[in-house]
Structure 1
Amino acid sequence: MITSKKVAVLDDEPLIGDIVSRALKRQWEVHIFERPSEALAALEEGERYAVFLCDMMMPERTGMEVYQEIRRRWPEQAERMVIMSGISQRDRAGELVKDAGLRLVQKPFDLNGLRQVVDEVSGGGEEADDGGERGGLRR
């Protein structure tokens, strides 16, 4: 069981990492990674996160490729992944996320919705569906 107050944010856009960090820093220790290799190295070194927010489209690897590697090597961490993207549940990438059983936070997200998702994934709140609004939890 993962009981830390750490949140990983993997996004190749520094601005997104900064926004997420500012939104969560009052309650969470936020670790920002701009490259998948950095996030995977942290896991290799033993870091574990209550929530692992991961961008879908990055130059080095896609969010789904990162998820597959984490699922293979650290399955308990894979259960705590959330994909962040501008993709729709209806396009092929959105279907892959849904088929994998991952949560999807659509960009642009509202900060309250993001905080709610982090709370839910960490076990601090009840799971909810926002009825399709941006920034909500999708499964």
Structure 2
Amino acid sequence: MPPPPTAPAPSLQRGRILIVDDERSFGKTLRLMLMDLHEATYTPSAKEALGWIREGRQYDAILCDLMMAEVTGRQFHEALREQSPEQALRIIFMTGGAYTPSSREFVEQLTLPLISKPFKREALDALLVPLLARA
């Protein structure tokens, strides 16, 4: 008899999640993983994400890669802080471990969560719980 499918943690509420990562295969895979429980939107472009938020789209959580070529996670966060301070508090940064001195300093000062790729669904869910609870 096959084991029962693993269900999402019962304390995790459904949320609107934005994924911003210029690594397309990772971003698409993460979106598919989250779609079982959430309304997940993916873009490889931080500029596009900022445009959506400027248009009034609201997200319960924003998963943003720290090191992107066009706009870094730090630049995205700074722009979002000016544009929509409440949304800027909903960022969870993701990293593959590559840091510049500037990004390392930013992460060390950060009060926002940071998760290292690759990560398990349970680890991400644990970071999402507090954001979705106040959604």
Quote how far apart the aligned CAs of 1:10 are: 0.1
Quote how far apart the aligned CAs of 1:88 are: 7.6
Matched, 1:60 2:35: no
When residues 88 and 98 of structure 1 are mapped into structure 2, their CA distance, relative to the original with a 3 A threshold, is: farther
Quote how far apart the aligned CAs of 1:78 are: 0.5
When residues 78 and 103 of structure 1 are mapped into structure 2, their CA distance, relative to the original with a 3 A threshold, is: same
Counterparts of 1:111 and 1:30, CA distance in 2: 14
SS state at 2:103 partner = helix
Gaps of at least 5 residues in structure 2 are 1-13
SS state at 1:26 partner = coil
CA contact (8 A) 2:60 2:131 kept: yes
Deviations 1:39-92 (A, max 9, x none): 011001100100000001111111011001101110000110011002389x75
Letter in 1 for 2:65: D
- Which TM-score applies when normalising by structure 2? 0.80
When residues 88 and 13 of structure 1 are mapped into structure 2, their CA distance, relative to the original with a 3 A threshold, is: closer
Deviations 1:87-135 (A, max 9, x none): 389x7524412313121011111122112222232227xxxxxxxxxxx
Aligned counterpart for 2:121 among listed residues 106, 111, 117? 111
How many residues of Structure 1 are paired with residues of Structure 2 in the alignment?
A: 121
Aligned counterpart for 1:33 among listed residues 43, 47, 53? 43
CA contact (8 A) 1:24 1:115 kept: no
Counterparts of 2:27 and 2:130, CA distance in 1: 20
Gaps of at least 5 residues in structure 1 are 125-139
Counterparts of 1:11 and 1:51, CA distance in 2: 14
Q: CA RMSD in A?
A: 2.2
- Which TM-score applies when normalising by structure 1? 0.78
Matched, 1:70 2:80: yes
The aligned counterpart of 1:6 is 16
CA contact (8 A) 2:19 2:41 kept: yes
SS state at 1:46 partner = coil
**Structure whose alpha-carbon radius of gyration is higher:** 2
The aligned counterpart of 2:3 is none
